[in-house]
């Protein structure tokens, strides 16, 4: 009976959305996405989205295979309770997103049964979103697109059945997700928000996906990192980054040792690279600096700001399995949250799905996207305090300029990724194989991993390339 009820609800939503004008459709989405504040708008606001992953193994590459540590001992109601209470204490009223792996949805041990019940109670108490994560961030790197679609369909059904009352997630958390699977979510599952790229990730963990823009966009049918260029390649799903990072750190592949620190390129607001690896004081300093780049200058430039973080539930007691110098980072979480509320009291902490639908309500396609960011190094680990980076991101390209602001040196172009060029994703991996690199790199890439990726003067670009930039930013090229 539960399956029938879910199907009838889905059918009713389809019928409602098929009636009336486009304005009616958007009104329906708006009233559904944020019942606590139906008048909330994207522009003029600062947003924070906070996600977590509930799993059994460190990286569950498929339904039946996993890599890394068995984390079941630290996925219990006790850890979830400590975690959620820390969030509520530091940011009362915050709504977060919980994503369950395939194994976590199906594990019949007592701790997982109770854990699922507890998190459903958080949905009812706090308004948290509960959703599915396929393939432990790297679904396409180990599975065929067809298999990932099956996993998405069955996993979402399990989540709906677990929560009950006709519940349907507004979004999916995926790490990386191919264009075909994003299309499937939008057209077959009627889900229009996905955390489907990890901005700038290269030579980290089990997959590479460098080349996208860092704020929301509608992806192209050609490649998940490419913004759709028009109706012919448009996928009606909002593709979101997974972690807001320090733009200076993001220039580097993988990690590097600086003095006594291991400085990862993912350093920003994520806990592993900050409060766990660097300690509470330095870690929270970096997290706040990264947040400020968006909530201060970024807000001024873009008229809205967004910071996002995935704090895996295993990190609540990761010191028991991974060491991490005895740290779990929750003291840093409370400091970071409290400081955000103090410095930006108007900031909204809403679910991933709510934020994505707000963005979708405002932007109907990628034509008006024009994100701009300026960041100076924090001085923490690999974030060089002498450097300033400027990013420009739109439907046509992304572009980064770097300079030593203390010496007032000329800016050098370190990234020019064109989205008007054809892009192709890798083929499905062969059974039992690993397809690691799903990056989109063409003219010039910030990571500096290819011979052509050397910083240049912007006037060293071809006449055609300069013209492309000048159409968007006439003052950038004289």
Tens of pLDDT along 372-422? 999 999 999 999 999 999 999 999 999 999 999 999 999 999 999 999 999
Instruction: In whole angstroms, give the CA distance from residue 99 to residue 97.
Output: 7
Whether the predicted pLDDT of 445 surpasses 70? yes
Classify domain 370-472 at the CATH class level.
alpha beta
Q: Residue 423 — very low, low, confident or very high, per pLDDT cuts 50/70/90? A: very high
Rounded (5°) CA angle 139-77-53: 20
Tens of pLDDT along 266-324? 999 999 999 999 999 999 999 999 999 999 999 999 999 999 999 999 999 988 877 78
The pLDDT value recorded for residue 13 is 36
- Ranges 185-199, 232-246, 256-270, 335-349: which has the least confidence: 256-270
- Ranges 54-58, 261-265, 312-316: which has the least confidence: 261-265
Instruction: In whole angstroms, give the CA distance from residue 59 to residue 52.
Output: 14
The token duo for 256 is 């590097």
The pLDDT value recorded for residue 434 is 95
Q: Are 55 and 63 in contact (CB under 8 A)?
A: no
Tens of pLDDT along 130-161? 999 999 999 999 999 999 999 999 999 999 99
Q: Residue 34 — very low, low, confident or very high, per pLDDT cuts 50/70/90? A: low
Rounded (5°) CA angle 95-6-54: 40
Q: What is the mean pLDDT of the chain?
A: 92
**Mean pLDDT of the 73-102 span:** 97
Tens of pLDDT along 119-131? 999 999 999 999 9
The pLDDT value recorded for residue 89 is 97
Whether the predicted pLDDT of 4 surpasses 60? no
Nearest residue to 355 (alpha-carbon basis) of 310, 307, 395, 398: 307
Whether the predicted pLDDT of 14 surpasses 80? no
Instruction: In whole angstroms, give the CA distance from residue 121 to residue 101.
Output: 18
The pLDDT value recorded for residue 319 is 81
Tens of pLDDT along 161-194? 999 999 999 999 999 999 999 999 999 999 999 9
Whether the predicted pLDDT of 9 surpasses 70? no
Region(s) of the chain under CATH 3.20.20.510: 42-362
| Residues above pLDDT 70, as percent of the chain | 92
The pLDDT value recorded for residue 11 is 35
Q: Under DSSP, is residue 375 helix (H, G, I), strand (E, B) or coil?
A: strand
CATH topology of domain 42-362: TIM Barrel (3.20.20)
Q: What share of the chain is helix, strand, coil (3-state, %, to 5)?
A: 40, 20, 40
């Amino acid at each position: 009976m539960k399956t029938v009820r879910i199907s009838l609800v889905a059918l009713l939503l389809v019928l409602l959305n098929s009636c009336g004008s486009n304005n009616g459709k958007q009104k329906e989405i708006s009233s559904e996405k944020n019942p606590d504040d139906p008048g909330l708008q994207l522009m003029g606001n600062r947003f924070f989205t906070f996600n977590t992953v509930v799993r059994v193994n460190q990286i569950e590459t498929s339904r039946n295979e996993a890599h890394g540590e068995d984390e079941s001992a630290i996925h219990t109601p006790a850890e979830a309770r400590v975690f959620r209470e820390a969030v509520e204490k530091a940011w009362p009223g915050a709504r977060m997103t919980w994503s369950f792996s395939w194994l976590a949805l199906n594990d019949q041990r007592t701790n997982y049964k109770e854990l699922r019940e507890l998190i459903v109670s958080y949905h009812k108490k706090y308004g948290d979103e509960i959703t599915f994560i396929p393939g432990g961030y790297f679904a396409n790197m180990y599975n065929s697109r067809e298999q990932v679609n099956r996993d998405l369909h069955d996993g979402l059904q399990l989540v709906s059945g677990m929560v009950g009352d006709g519940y349907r997630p507004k979004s999916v958390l995926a790490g990386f997700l191919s264009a075909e699977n994003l299309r499937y979510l939008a057209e077959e599952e009627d889900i229009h928000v996905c955390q489907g790229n990890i901005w700038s990730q290269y030579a980290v963990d089990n997959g590479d996906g460098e080349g996208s823009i860092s704020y929301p966009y509608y992806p192209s049918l050609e490649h998940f990192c490419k913004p759709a260029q028009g109706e012919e390649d448009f996928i009606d799903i909002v593709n979101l980054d997974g972690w807001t990072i320090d733009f200076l750190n993001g220039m580097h592949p993988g990690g590097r040792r600086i003095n006594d620190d291991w400085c990862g390129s993912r350093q920003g607001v994520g806990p592993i690279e900050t409060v766990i690896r660097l300690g509470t004081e330095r870690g929270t300093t970096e997290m706040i600096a990264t947040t400020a780049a968006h909530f201060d200058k970024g807000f001024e430039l873009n008229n809205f700001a967004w910071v996002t973080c995935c704090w895996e539930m295993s990190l609540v007691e990761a010191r028991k399995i991974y060491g991490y110098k005895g740290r779990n980072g929750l003291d840093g979480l409370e400091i970071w949250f409290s400081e955000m509320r103090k410095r930006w009291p108007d900031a909204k902490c809403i679910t991933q799905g709510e934020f994505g639908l707000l963005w979708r309500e405002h932007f109907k396609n990628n034509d008006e996207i024009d994100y701009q960011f300026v960041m100076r190094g924090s001085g923490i680990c690999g974030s060089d305090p002498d450097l300033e980076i400027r990013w420009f991101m739109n439907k046509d390209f992304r572009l980064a300029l770097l300079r030593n602001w203390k010496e007032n040196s000329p800016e050098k172009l370190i990234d020019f990724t064109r989205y008007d060029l054809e892009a192709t994703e890798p083929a499905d991996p062969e059974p039992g194989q690993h397809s690691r690199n799903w990056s989109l790199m063409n003219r010039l890439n910030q990571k500096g991993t290819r011979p052509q990726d050397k910083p240049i003067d912007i006037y060293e670009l071809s006449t055609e390339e300069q013209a492309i930039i000048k159409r968007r930013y006439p003052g950038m090229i004289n």
